[in-house]
Structure 1
Amino acid sequence: MSAAAASDRPAPLRVLLLCASLDIAGGVERFACALANHLAAEGMDVAIGSVDTPAGAVRYPVQPAVRVVAGSATRMPAFTDSASRWRRAWRLLRTQWNTGRLLARLMRLQRPDVVVLNGLTTACSALVFDRRFAARTICCDHNHFFARSRPWQVLRRWLYPRVAAVVSLTEADAPRFRALNARTEVIYNASPLRADEPALPAAALVLAVGRHVAQKGFDLLLRAWPAVVRALPGARLRIVGEGPLRGAMQQLAADLGVADSVEWLEPTPQIERHYREASVFVLPSRYEGMPLTLLEAQALGVPAVAFDCPTGPAEILSADTGVLVPPGDVPALAAALVRVLGDAALRERMARAAIERSRSIFSPEAHLRRWTRLVRDVAQARAA
């Protein structure tokens, strides 16, 4: 190709995806890396950035075409101060201040055509420091509308009407986001994992996956587990994840007398193996957005039991693919696990229906197409 022809070709669309951190094993981080890889494959000039995660510490695979950038080369200290409530509040405020300052710096340095801000606190922190990028920004909270405290909701009411578009992960939250920004699109999360046939293991193994934080409700699951073991003495619980509450959860299992029936495993890129070995997947979360782990379980044909928390599980599961129980109802969670674990025919019906539902509603191809179209639409609207 001649130099003149090359100069006539339009410059690739510059996209910057931002998270607070990229070195933890979380659904937001996995989503951001997967979307960055896809947009780069579509010919865009893509960077993925965080406050302080260097390229070598990014938890999920990033293609060579994707640039990894950080607002600071110095890792911010972990938030561990527990001296007093006021000191903790001041430390948290300072952390968010630095988060916003460093992410806004990245936006100015990268000069993207489109910015994708992941998470309410990340979006508000960055936009408070530089609202000039609002007209080219897509915000995705990755959690249900009321998950954060009132100050963050107030900031969202002020900032989200200014941005180019908002993505709601669920139909339940879409009207709330549309009240703030008319350009709100529902784009379901989707599992990159898939299977043609369920594994249908015979062992009574229950799998839970997630970070050891209060949101994920592993304490509620452990309180339900003694009743499951009494009904099905051979049952085992496998929890895959890391996080600040892991030690406390292990101690709780010991206090409840079920430590011998609980396995604790670190996050792994080979997570599919754990799903395929599980008879039932359990999601005991207090709240969610559109939980990727539940979507993964469904795509691989694993029957599921979940709390019917404010958003997410009710749009993923149907009566054919799993069991929803009232939020926080520990006895109901135990009863549902016993019921599904104890009925092999029911598990097989649910497993096959889960794969079919995943294919028909939660297609990863449709998920990526919709995100790609939205990014291009925002860029074109700004250019116009």
Structure 2
Amino acid sequence: MKISFIVVDITAKAGTERTTTLLANTMVRKGHEVRIISLFRQNISPAFFLEKEVGIVYVTSEAYSIHSSPFKRLLRIIRSFFSFREMIRKNDSSLFIGQNFLVNLYLYFSGFSKKSIACEHNLYNIYPLPILFFREYVYKSFYKLVSLTEKDADKFRRRLKNVEVIPNMLTFTPKGEADLTLKRILSIGRLSNQKGYDLLLEAVKYIWKDYPDWHLDIFGEGEMHAFLAEKIKMCNMEKYVFLKGYTQDVISEYLSSSIYVMSSRFEGFPMSLLEATSCGLPVVSFDCPEGPADIIGEDRGILVPPEDISGLKTALLKLMDSLDRRNEYGENGRSFVFQNYNSEAVYKKWDMLFQSFVNSQSK
């Protein structure tokens, strides 16, 4: 089958682009002809590895940034839309897969929604109510809407009948397991309000006196770096909490840690939680909407009520105090994610969707 993925910018270092490259690589290996259509281009090349058989087409060489003024963003969207519409009319793909609401609007207004699958990677309630209703009106015309979690899918199903659930797949298969004797807590994510690192710092600021041989490393970049650095300094945690910036070797960081913590206020589907668990790390996370509850069970980690700072502290101490518990949760989580989120298991769900689409076109 000839498949075209549509993304905002395949050169961006973001979760949706990473997921797209994984799917594209997997589908090429399964014999599909795959192309990625990128609406914008901020950098020279894709941020993540792509098989050489995957074609890439850039609609425009302009960059798209949410930090630009609304007027500039609108102008770039309008320019790229007309270029996209002209390009897609000449495209011979059997099926299009749109990787967020913006690109799905391009497909809709170009008249290609009926031969397209819309994918939603963000929290259901991320938009204001009028946009939520408009989004569902748009998605009625798509062949299918793919959601990452059952909870988000159930919300879409209140008004839509074409909803399927396909989670993200594991991004890698680690060769080893985390050394849970190391007294290191790890967190990876953008330094933004969404990721809740201000809450995490509140949770850990009083634990170091009793656990001076432990420390917390936070990897990521973002607009809250200065605020978080100042908070670490104000709370006298410079010896225990470190903002490490961006890393290209996340696997080594997972494998050299004992606990993974996620303090997000909301998620679409937390890939870092999936990756950490695949490395055998026991995890502590807020039970935020949506995704952590899909990965963490009673015997695979500890879920804490959303934004419960005291509960997050208690959960971390529970794991810090018990190597046996860390080993138990780490092994159970590792087995669970390998069984349910490996590339073959996730691809089977996509393949069933492809077969359904082919059958619908032959009627």
The answer to whether the superposition gives a TM-score over 0.5 is yes
Map residues 90-239 of structure 1 onto 2, 5 A cutoff.
90-91=71-72, 93-94=74-75, 97=78, 100-101=81-82, 103-124=84-105, 126-130=106-110, 132-195=111-174, 198-239=177-218
| Residues 121, 152 of structure 1: 8 Å contact kept | no
Deviation, 1:285, is 0.9
Same amino acid, percent of matched pairs = 26
The alignment partner of 1:172 has SS state of: helix
Corresponding position: 1:16 with 2:7: no
What letter matches 2:119 in structure 1?
Answer: C
Deviation, 1:223, is 2.3
Q: Which runs of 5+ in 2 are unaligned?
A: none
| Residues 98, 107 of structure 2: 8 Å contact kept | no
User: Mean Cα displacement is larger for which, 50-59 or 166-175?
Assistant: 50-59
Corresponding position: 1:31 with 2:10: no
Map residues 1-384 of structure 1 onto 2, 5 A cutoff.
13-53=1-41, 56-76=44-64, 78-80=65-67, 89-91=70-72, 93-94=74-75, 97=78, 100-101=81-82, 103-124=84-105, 126-130=106-110, 132-195=111-174, 198-384=177-363
Partners of 2:164 and 2:262 lie apart in 1 by 26
Partners of 2:22 and 2:144 lie apart in 1 by 20
What letter matches 1:115 in structure 2?
Answer: F
| Residues 79, 91 of structure 1: 8 Å contact kept | no
TM-score, length-scaled by structure 2: 0.91
Partners of 1:203 and 1:153 lie apart in 2 by 45
The alignment partner of 1:173 has SS state of: helix
Partners of 2:75 and 2:210 lie apart in 1 by 49
Gap change, CA 1:243 and 1:371, over 3 Å in 2:
farther
Deviation, 1:301, is 0.8
Gap change, CA 1:253 and 1:34, over 3 Å in 2:
same
**Greater helix share, structure number:** 1
Partners of 1:103 and 1:264 lie apart in 2 by 40
| Residues 14, 113 of structure 1: 8 Å contact kept | yes
Deviation readout 1:334-355 (Å, 9 max, x if unpaired)? 2211221221111011111111
Gap change, CA 1:160 and 1:246, over 3 Å in 2:
same
Deviation readout 1:205-262 (Å, 9 max, x if unpaired)? 1111122222222222222221232342222211222333333333332333323323
TM-score, length-scaled by structure 1: 0.86
Deviation, 1:383, is 4.6
The alignment partner of 2:346 has SS state of: helix
Deviation, 1:104, is 4.3
The alignment partner of 1:377 has SS state of: helix
Partners of 1:106 and 1:222 lie apart in 2 by 48
Deviation, 1:43, is 2.1
User: Mean Cα displacement is larger for which, 132-141 or 207-216?
Assistant: 207-216
Deviation, 1:128, is 4.8
CA-atom RMSD, angstroms?
2.4
Deviation readout 1:69-98 (Å, 9 max, x if unpaired)? 11102334x4445xxxxxx55455556555
Aligned residues: 363
| Residues 220, 284 of structure 1: 8 Å contact kept | yes
Q: Which runs of 5+ in 1 are unaligned?
A: 1-12, 82-87
